[in-house]
Amino acid sequence: MTEEGEKLIVSYGALARVEASILDKKLCVDTTPNPNVPDEEILETNRRFRKFLDGSTGYTAKQRVSKAKKDVGK
């Protein structure tokens, strides 16, 4: 893990780069995929990434989508 300004940068599994930061009290995560990994690794990375988002935000995927739609509508 490294820091670039206010962002934490990591890589994991099928994600070549994950940038995480807090902006206006919201978790912002940008990912860059690694296309050169087996399908099994993609599925496992995706499962763990969703679990990370659930735990770090306290919201399910459905709730996160709903909140994102509300923010866009403002």
In three-state secondary structure terms, 24 is coil
Q: How many domains does the chain have?
A: 1
Which residue range is the domain that position 69 belongs to? 2-73
Written as six digits, the tokens of 3 are 């820091």
Secondary structure (DSSP) of 29-43: EEEEE-SSS-HHHHH
Q: What pLDDT sits at residue 71?
A: 82
Tens of pLDDT, residues 16-67: 999 999 998 889 999 999 999 999 999 999 999 999 999 999 999 999 999 8
